[in-house]
């Protein structure tokens, strides 16, 4: 059996924490079997390495390894992605397509963020786990596949089951063996080691001397909460490596790069952020734009459903709350946007670096969608930057709790999840 150290080296896993070593050991032990494994741990702890170890040390190593991020695939297409579809099974299905479970026959599928799977997909998955059978979307003929499934989640599954979001029977099928990866803050010994490794990597990448922490800065590094775990540590190491001229990093400098994510360190706590976090006019303006964008997405969803089902009455009945929401919000949003534009135009204190507010704003106000589109095209990059800032801000405000942050931003958790991945937060 390959040793823990050799495996860590092979997969670039840094750290000597006993819990990390136990997780790697478990992966080595279960690899030759076909036991289903559930990898658990907070976001950014390094869950993706475990299924790779399992696949590479198993008899399936010459078969395919497919990693699927269940949280990032839109609900409407996930069944087709995973199980394939028959030609003509829905609008746009112009040819029969194989899904991952067919393609990975003889190999391993890693289902990341499995807690995000919609319930109907969970039923299909359960069937594959129970008898290796699946149905393509639009087909009634069962197909066989021989795939090992390794799943991962950072969601508290017991809570998801209790809320009816995740099937209990599927949870037990997926988690014959659970491999837990500890959060970084519980691996104090590894924090500095990882930081030094990342600092050395970035020094090489950017052809600059390696940054070094003073003793005080090292203390701060070790005591910080690291809600984003290794991903966050890596990002901080990269930012400092690129931005700081002085390669010796002091406590004060490091502090500057550590957002307050609910750390209990007196030095970096700013108390709870105030309600006025989103209160500057410009930020509200962005918020309104995001809300509009969300409405457009909702409308797209509705249109897609209409196209798929072709039964307007049924869709209207099923989506009545969505339809009501869109049409009742429209007036509100229009009024809000108009008043902000008016304030900005009348010389409010904020400098308008992103939008050039037209001189005759009242004329422009007539068609907010035209206005929004124009902005989006011209200022797409700035808008993305602002979106990133707002997301960061609300994640900080809610200590990384995606649900609360998504509620504040007025987007779904799934969308927020995609954005976090997109911006590598
Ligand atoms: N022990 C480690 N040594 C070196 N790099 C690591 C280690 N663990 C994680 N990383 C790095 O940290 C980043 C995050 O890891 P990974 O994507 O596996 O996290 P995750 O737990 O799957 O997160 P999520 O739940 O958000 O998908 C990656 O860039 C990964 O290479």
**What is the per-residue pLDDT for 91?**
77
CA 142 remoteness from chain centre: 33
Report which ligand 1 atom has the smallest distance to the Cα of 20.
1
Region of 106 on the Ramachandran plot (φ > 0 left; ψ -120 to 50 alpha; else beta): left
- Taking residues 95-116, report their average pLDDT: 95
Q: Would you call 133 helix, strand, or coil by DSSP?
A: strand
- pLDDT of 402 over the 70 cut: yes
Closest Cα to atom 13 of ligand 1 = 231
Report which ligand 1 atom has the smallest distance to the Cα of 420.
26
For residue 47, how far is its CA from the centre of ligand 1 (angstroms)? 6
Check residues 131 and 417 and name the one with the higher pLDDT: 131
Determine what percent of the chain is predicted with pLDDT higher than 90: 54
**What is the per-residue pLDDT for 411?**
79
- Both tokens of 317, joined, read 């009945």
- Both tokens of 409, joined, read 């931003």
ipTM of the complex in this document: 0.96
Mean pLDDT (the chain) is: 80
Model confidence at 272, in pLDDT bands (50, 70, 90)?
A: very low
For a pocket test of ligand 1, which of 21, 23, 37, 46 has the largest count of ligand atoms closer than 8 A to its C-beta? 46
What CA–CA distance (Å, rounded) separates 343 from 146? 63
Contact 36, 173 (CB under 8 A): yes
For residue 151, how far is its CA from the centre of ligand 1 (angstroms)? 15
Q: Domains of the chain, with CATH numbers? A: 4-182 (3.40.50.300), 185-268 (1.10.8.60), 284-422 (no CATH)
Report which ligand 1 atom has the smallest distance to the Cα of 233.
12
Report which ligand 1 atom has the smallest distance to the Cα of 8.
1
Report which ligand 1 atom has the smallest distance to the Cα of 112.
27
- Range with the poorest average pLDDT among 21-35, 260-274, 378-392: 260-274
Closest Cα to atom 31 of ligand 1 = 46
Closest CA to 355 of 338, 376, 339, 370: 376
**What is the per-residue pLDDT for 219?**
95
**What is the per-residue pLDDT for 397?**
78
For residue 221, how far is its CA from the centre of ligand 1 (angstroms)? 18
Region of 263 on the Ramachandran plot (φ > 0 left; ψ -120 to 50 alpha; else beta): beta
Report which ligand 1 atom has the smallest distance to the Cα of 197.
4
For residue 120, how far is its CA from the centre of ligand 1 (angstroms)? 29
- Both tokens of 115, joined, read 């807690």
- Range with the poorest average pLDDT among 122-126, 244-248, 263-267: 263-267
Closest Cα to atom 16 of ligand 1 = 46
For a pocket test of ligand 1, which of 226, 230, 400 has the largest count of ligand atoms closer than 8 A to its C-beta? 230
* Binding-site residues, ligand 1, Cβ < 6 A: 12-15, 41, 43-49, 112, 154, 230-231, 234
For residue 370, how far is its CA from the centre of ligand 1 (angstroms)? 42
Report which ligand 1 atom has the smallest distance to the Cα of 14.
3
For a pocket test of ligand 1, which of 44, 52, 71 has the largest count of ligand atoms closer than 8 A to its C-beta? 44
For residue 49, how far is its CA from the centre of ligand 1 (angstroms)? 7
- What number of CA atoms fall less than 13 Å from residue 120's CA on the CB side? 10
Contact 240, 249 (CB under 8 A): yes
For residue 43, how far is its CA from the centre of ligand 1 (angstroms)? 8
- pLDDT of 97 over the 50 cut: yes
Model confidence at 422, in pLDDT bands (50, 70, 90)?
A: confident
**What is the per-residue pLDDT for 322?**
63
């Amino acid at each position: 059996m390959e040793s823990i150290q050799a495996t860590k080296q092979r997969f670039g896993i840094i750290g000597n924490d006993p819990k990390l070593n136990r997780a790697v050991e478990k992966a080595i032990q279960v690899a030759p079997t076909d036991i289903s494994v559930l990898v658990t741990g907070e976001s950014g702890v390094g869950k993706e390495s475990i299924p790779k170890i399992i696949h590479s040390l198993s008899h399936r190593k010459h078969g395919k390894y497919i990693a699927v991020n269940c949280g990032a695939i839109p609900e409407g297409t996930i069944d087709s992605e995973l199980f394939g579809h028959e030609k003509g099974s829905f609008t746009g299905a112009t040819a029969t397509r194989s899904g991952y479970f067919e393609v990975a026959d003889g190999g391993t599928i890693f289902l990341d963020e499995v807690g995000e799977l919609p319930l109907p997909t969970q039923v299909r998955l359960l069937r594959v786990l129970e008898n290796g059978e699946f149905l393509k979307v639009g087909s009634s003929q069962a197909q066989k596949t021989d795939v090992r499934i390794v799943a991962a989640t950072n969601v508290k599954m017991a809570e998801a089951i209790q809320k009816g979001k995740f099937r209990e029977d599927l949870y037990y099928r997926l988690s014959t063996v659970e491999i837990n990866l500890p959060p970084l803050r519980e691996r104090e010994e590894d924090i500095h080691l990882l930081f030094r490794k990342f600092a050395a990597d970035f020094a090489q990448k950017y052809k600059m001397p390696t940054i070094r922490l003073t003793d005080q800065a090292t203390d701060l590094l070790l005591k910080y909460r690291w809600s984003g775990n290794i991903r966050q540590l890596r990002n901080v190491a990269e930012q400092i490596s690129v931005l700081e001229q002085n390669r010796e990093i002091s406590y004060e400098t490091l502090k500057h790069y550590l957002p307050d994510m609910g750390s209990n360190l007196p030095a970096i706590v700013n108390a709870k952020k105030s309600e006025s976090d989103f209160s500057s006019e410009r930020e509200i303006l962005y918020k309104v734009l995001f809300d509009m964008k969300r409405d457009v997405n909702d409308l797209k969803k509705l249109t897609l459903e209409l196209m798929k089902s072709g039964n307007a009455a049924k869709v209207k009945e099923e989506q009545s709350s969505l339809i009501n929401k869109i049409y009742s919000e429209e007036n509100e949003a229009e009024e809000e946007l108009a008043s902000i534009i008016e304030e900005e135009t009348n010389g409010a204190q904020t400098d308008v670096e992103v939008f050039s507010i037209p001189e005759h704003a009242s004329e422009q106000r007539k068609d907010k969608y035209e206005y929004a589109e124009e902005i989006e095209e011209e200022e797409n990059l700035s808008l993305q930057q602002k979106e990133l800032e707002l997301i960061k801000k609300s994640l900080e405000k809610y200590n990384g709790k995606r649900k609360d942050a998504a509620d504040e931003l007025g987007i779904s958790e799934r969308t927020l999840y995609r954005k976090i991945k997109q911006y590598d937060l």
